[in-house]
């Protein structure tokens, strides 16, 4: 329903733009018919015509873009609402349960664990939203320090394993030779852990993720390969856009805010590196790359 509404409004603005251009052309040719003898006027007319038509085209494009952006923002607010309210609802439910019912020791411990998980999830969402806000803020400098990417990736892998309670063989990490990069520790950690978290999130029940790092011509490259839902070719670039979520049933089974990969790409850019994705298509897994320059 939402997409139908959007197509309609976009189609309207495009038709409106084309209509205006047609009106201008008709007026113009009428005017040429009347004034074709005056050379200078004719040239002036052609120039004005080009300016007007490009103005209309630009206007239409920006309108369509604005509509698109608004929709993404709506979807984002919906997703964030869900991501914020669900853990709160869960924590609240368990607290009320503990408050009103007799709960045996074992259950009580399980409830505490669930509440801790939910508060982690809540915190992760809040941090992503705040981080995105900070990235948007101009003039915020990087706090560059010399770090070795290997141990940092190792730490993120261990944390993800613990968080999702997955066995060590489900996420393997093969570090390359130790190599230092100049980077903002907080930001690079966020980017690396977003990539690993994503690989697990989009893997479904059978997690099979391989992470490795290697050094090549002045850069260190981290690879995160999963056997999950995959990404259609047309979406490979778009997944890094802010608020963007791959449409369709496969990815919508996984909940998220559409910020994770945007953060990855921004971090890579701010460090003079690059982030990209490769996939054989939907259902065939995907590989994410993060490339950062080696410290001199």
Partner 1 sequence: MTQILVVEDELHLAEGLRFNLEAEGYQVRVVETGEAALDILQAPEAPVDVVVLDVMLPGKDGFAVMSELRQAGQFVPTLMLTARGHPEDILKGFAAGADDYLAKPFELAILLARLRGLLRRRDWLRTPVNHTVAKPQPTDTFTFGDKSVHFDLLELHVRDQIFPLTLMEANLLRYLIQHEGRPVSRKAMLEEVWGLHEDTDTRAIDNFIVRLRRYIEDEPARPRHLLTVRGVGYRFVAAPAAAK
Q: What is the 3-state secondary structure (H, E, C) of 185-244?
A: HHHHHHHHHHHHHHHHHCCCCCCCEEEEEEEECCEEEEEEEECCCCCCHHHCCHHHCCCC
Exposed/middle/buried for residue 101 (C-beta within 10 Å: 0-12, 13-18, 19+): exposed
Exposed/middle/buried for residue 218 (C-beta within 10 Å: 0-12, 13-18, 19+): exposed
Distance of closest approach, residue 247 Cβ to partner 1, in angstroms = 14
**Any idea what DSSP says for residue 294?**
B
Query: Which residue's CB is nearer to partner 1, number 136 or number 248?
Result: 248
Distance of closest approach, residue 104 Cβ to partner 1, in angstroms = 11
How many whole angstroms from its chain centre is CA 269?
Answer: 14
* Selected range binding partner 1 among 21-29, 92-100, 166-174, 211-219, rule: CB under 8 A: 92-100
Distance of closest approach, residue 218 Cβ to partner 1, in angstroms = 43
Please give the residues from 101 up to 160 whose contact with partner 1 meets the rule CB under 8 A: 101, 107, 114, 117-118
Sole binder of partner 1 in the list 89, 123, 126, 144 (CB under 8 A): 89
Exposed/middle/buried for residue 136 (C-beta within 10 Å: 0-12, 13-18, 19+): exposed
Binding string, 199-238, against partner 1, x = CB under 8 A?
----------------------------------------
**Residue where the block lists tokens 């120039």:** 47
Binding string, 52-81, against partner 1, x = CB under 8 A?
--------------------------x--x
Distance of closest approach, residue 74 Cβ to partner 1, in angstroms = 11
Residue 97 engages partner 1 in binding (rule: CB under 8 A): yes
Sole binder of partner 1 in the list 57, 93, 129, 294 (CB under 8 A): 93
Q: Is 97 in contact with 103 (CB distance < 8 Å)?
A: yes
Sole binder of partner 1 in the list 100, 137, 138, 141 (CB under 8 A): 100
Distance of closest approach, residue 120 Cβ to partner 1, in angstroms = 12
Total binding residues toward partner 1, as defined by CB under 8 A: 24
Q: Which phi and psi angles does 274 have, rounded to 5°?
A: -150, 150
Distance of closest approach, residue 168 Cβ to partner 1, in angstroms = 23
Beta partners for residue 145, in sequence order: 183
Q: Which phi and psi angles does 156 have, rounded to 5°?
A: -65, -40
Distance of closest approach, residue 70 Cβ to partner 1, in angstroms = 17
Distance of closest approach, residue 16 Cβ to partner 1, in angstroms = 28
Helix or strand holding residue 1 (H, E): none
Handedness of CA 26, 32, 35, 41 (dihedral sign): positive
Query: Which residue's CB is nearer to partner 1, number 87 or number 228?
Result: 87
Sole binder of partner 1 in the list 72, 90, 119, 287 (CB under 8 A): 90
Query: Which residue's CB is nearer to partner 1, number 94 or number 243?
Result: 94
Select from 175, 157, 264 the least CA-distant residue to 213.
Answer: 175
Interface with partner 1 (CB under 8 A)? 78, 81-82, 85-90, 92-94, 96-97, 100-101, 107, 114, 117-118, 249, 252-253, 255
């Amino acid at each position: 329903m939402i997409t139908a509404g959007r197509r309609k409004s976009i189609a309207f603005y495009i038709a409106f733009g084309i209509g205006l251009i047609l009106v201008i052309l008709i007026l113009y040719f009428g005017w040429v018919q009347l004034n074709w003898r005056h050379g200078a006027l004719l040239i002036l007319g052609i120039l004005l015509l080009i300016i007007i038509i490009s103005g209309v085209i630009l206007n239409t494009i920006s309108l369509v873009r604005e509509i698109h952006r608004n929709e993404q923002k709506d979807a984002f607010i919906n997703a964030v609402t869900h991501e914020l309210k669900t853990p709160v609802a869960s924590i609240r439910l368990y607290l009320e349960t503990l408050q009103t019912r007799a709960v045996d020791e074992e259950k009580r411990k399980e409830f505490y664990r669930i509440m801790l998980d939910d508060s982690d999830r809540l915190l992760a969402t809040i941090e992503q939203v705040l981080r995105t806000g900070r990235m948007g803020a101009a003039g915020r400098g990087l706090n560059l320090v010399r770090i070795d990417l290997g141990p940092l990736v190792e730490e993120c892998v261990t944390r993800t394993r613990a968080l999702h309670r997955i066995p060590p063989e489900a996420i393997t990490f093969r570090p390359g030779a130790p190599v230092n990069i100049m980077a903002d520790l907080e930001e690079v950690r966020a980017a690396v852990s977003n990539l690993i978290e994503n690989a697990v999130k989009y893997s479904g029940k059978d997690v099979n993720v391989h992470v490795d790092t290697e050094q090549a011509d002045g850069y260190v490259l981290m690879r995160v390969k999963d056997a999950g839902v995959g990404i259609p070719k047309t979406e490979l670039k778009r997944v890094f856009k802010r608020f963007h979520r791959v449409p369709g049933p496969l990815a919508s089974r996984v909940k998220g805010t559409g910020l994770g990969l945007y953060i990855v790409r921004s971090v890579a850019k701010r460090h003079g590196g690059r982030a990209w994705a490769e996939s054989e298509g939907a259902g065939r897994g995907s590989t994410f790359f993060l490339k950062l320059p080696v410290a001199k």
